[in-house]
Amino acid sequence: MVTRSTDTETAGGDVLWRERLFTTLQRRGAVVVLILVVAVSAVAFDNFLTAQNLENIVLQGAFLGLIVVGMTFVIISGGIDLSVGSMLALGGVLAAQTVEIFWPLALILPPLVCSLIGLGNGFLIARARMAPFIVTLAGLLGIRGLALALANEKPIGIDGGSPFTWFGQGQILGVAVPIIFVVVAFVVGGLVLARTGYGRIVFAVGGSEESARLMGLPVDRTKVIAYTVSGALAGLSGALLAARLSAGDPNAGLAWELDAISAVVVGGTLLTGGAGSMSGSLAGVLLLSILQNLINQVGTLGSYAQQLVSGVFLIIVVVAQAYLTRRGTY
Amino acid sequence: MTPMNRAASVSESLDRSAVASWVRGRGVYVAFVALLIFNLIITPNFASVATFSNLLIQVSPIVLVSLGVALAIGTEGIDLSVGSVMALASAFLPLYLGYGWPVALFVALLVGAVAGLVNGSLVAFVGVQPIIATLAMLVGGRGLAQIFASGQLLIVSDPAVLALGQGRLFGIPAPVIVAVVAVLVVGFLVNRTTFGRYVVAIGGNRSASYLSGHPVRRTLLLVYIISGLLAALAGIVATARLGASDPSNIGILIELSAITAVVVGGTPLSGGRVRILGTVMGALLIQLISTTFIANDLPFTWAQVFTAAIILVAVYLQKGRGAA
């Protein structure tokens, strides 16, 4: 890697100031873009800033948001979790299957089972030193197969009268329950990441695993916890989505791991690990959600254009990031 | 312990580690042969020309895209976009059939090369991580393909194109011939050319490769263009086999099969080594697992679980070579 630190030293304050601006833009770019997009949309579309539409946007992003909180920890620690979409499906199926036995089980069992799977992922990655990409790719395939097998490849309905559905469809003080879950997850996740020792260690491990190990930091434990949390949140998201839809669908969350990674990357977290923020990831999720909402509002754009726009948007963001951080490449 | 005993035990442990490392390197062949024998005994009507012919035809598109993915992984990169590039090639093919089949095939391949050029430029010149660059192409590429095809399935009836998917030469199905030729060409590129040496050198250590004066950026660009071309070829073969261009479904999730084939075949994700025959074997193994489950009326979903277990075991075994 070639860094421009020497330029900074020789060229004096002016360059230093620009460096700082670029770094800030790269780290907080998603928040800046989010504000811009909201401002432009508010002017361009009459019914964009209505309470109903805003709630739609947030609710649309809530289930992905829960996954993104876990993914942020994993990616900052230098790893990746491709198994989250499949775990969401497994969580939904488990919820639908247990809700009739005893409804609180439907809320507790999915995060529990998925956190155990995450624990397994983390153990294979940290202790057996296997590549995160491969371990969780196997998870993606295997857990989806498991979810499909458990559900006989068909969505399982949940009785609409069950108290469990309140967790997907109910409201507290006019705010949808899943939104409350995701807000709590982002606040707690953000505090843990930025204000606790565990958070610092996650950054250290992602920055340089060897250095972290040599400093005597509990590298293995840190990684295992990150994957466990990622699993638990994916399972919880699956349970809440099942409650919202009144069904546990084994095909739910298909390719959501890619959306979650996009959201995290758009939020300014580097895939190489060691840098990033929870607020950026939140902005990333909201941006993806708003993008979808705007495409629906324009109406003339088909659902195919939506994919194209998402892909182009992702590229613009990462190219901008690449230029702003100006990482030296050969 | 007498010296004799010690010598014996040393040679025994040498034997064992030799066997272990042989199995590590060739695990995919062992697994394939074992599963083949299992099928010959258990599965009714398995030992027929039709069964093997089907297996080979079905595996052809996977082999084609796996070759490109293997090259990308060899440079410590990855290509997630192969399925969407298949869809793009498939979408463009019928649009240009009016100008004759050579033009249509050329355009379809060109589209794949351009997609690879975009991926490669982002990776080589802009410095975007391969997983992100090709993820954007995975998402955007399929959208583009569906826009060009208006989201519809278009029947392809040109006999020359159909022959690529359904024809036979000396009794060998055309997709198999295409795949074998591609394997030979890519195998030659990897093992017998400086380009192949550069690929492995970049995957081993990009900085060292650059400092040694290797054309790193040009090589990376070429790797992703070749991967795009192979994916387009796979898209053409799949379209010809189906007799229709179906950009919504062609090549969906094939990147996962391809990565699995490459990794199970002994190419480490950390780059620096490319195993072409291993990749082909990996693809055959995955296809044979599906065939086994389907032929024995076992729920197909368990095949996925089984494949996942195979991936974990294969990668765990490779770990000993500092390859995981």
Structure token digits, residue B6: 């010690």
> Which of B280, B66, B75, B76 lies closest to B197, judged by CA?
B75
> Is the pLDDT score of B19 beyond 70?
no
Q: For B89, what's the count of Cα atoms within 13 Å in the CB-facing half-sphere? A: 34
Query: What's the mean pLDDT in B208-217?
Result: 88
How far apart CA A306 and CA A303 sit, in angstroms, is: 5
Residue B293 CB: number of other CB atoms within 10 A?
Answer: 18
> Is the pLDDT score of A3 beyond 70?
no
pLDDT at B305: 87
Question: Could B141 and A311 be called an inter-chain contact, meaning their C-beta atoms sit closer than 8 Å?
Answer: yes
pLDDT at A9: 45
Residue B196's region, left for phi above 0, alpha for psi from -120 to 50, else beta, is: alpha
Across chain A, mean pLDDT equals 86
Integer CA distances (angstroms), B244 to B48, B112, B143, B160, B247, in order: 29, 18, 18, 14, 9
- Using CA of residue B58, residue A135, residue A284, residue A66, what is the dihedral sign? positive
What is the rounded end-to-end Cα distance, in angstroms, of chain B?
A: 38
Structure token digits, residue A66: 């829960």
> Is the pLDDT score of B24 beyond 70?
no
DSSP state letters, B255-298? HHHHHHHHHHTT--TT-S---HHHHHHHHHHHHHHHHHHHHTT-
Query: What's the mean pLDDT in A86-112?
Result: 93
ipTM: 0.77
More confident site: A321 or B270: B270
Structure token digits, residue A42: 């508010």
Integer CA distances (angstroms), B273 to B72, B77, B191, B318, in order: 11, 12, 11, 13
Tens of pLDDT along A283-302? 999 988 888 888 877 766 66
Selected residues 130-149 of chain B with any CB under 8 Å from a CB in chain A: 131-133, 135-144, 146-147
What is the rounded end-to-end Cα distance, in angstroms, of chain A?
A: 8
Query: What's the mean pLDDT in A263-271?
Result: 86
Report chain B residues whose CB lies below 8 A from the CB of A267.
none
Q: Note whether B206 contacts A: Cβ–Cβ < 8 A.
A: yes
- The residue behind tokens 């990776």 is B123
Query: What's the mean pLDDT in A163-186?
Result: 91
What percent of chain A stands above pLDDT 70?
91
**What's the angle, vertex CA B241, arms to CA B237 and CA B246, rounded to 5?**
85
Question: Could B315 and A139 be called an inter-chain contact, meaning their C-beta atoms sit closer than 8 Å?
Answer: no
Tens of pLDDT along A73-84? 999 999 999 999
How far apart CA B119 and CA A165 sit, in angstroms, is: 44
B201 Cα distance to chain centroid: 21
Question: Could B319 and A130 be called an inter-chain contact, meaning their C-beta atoms sit closer than 8 Å?
Answer: yes
Please state the pTM of the whole predicted model. Answer: 0.84
Report chain A residues whose CB lies below 8 A from the CB of B125.
329
**Extents of the domains making up chain B:** 31-321
Architecture of domain B31-321: Orthogonal Bundle (1.10)
> Is the pLDDT score of B184 beyond 90?
yes
Instruction: Write down all domains in chain A, each with its CATH number in brackets.
Output: 21-325 (1.10.3470)
Q: Note whether A183 contacts B: Cβ–Cβ < 8 A.
A: no
Beta bridge partners of A176: A171
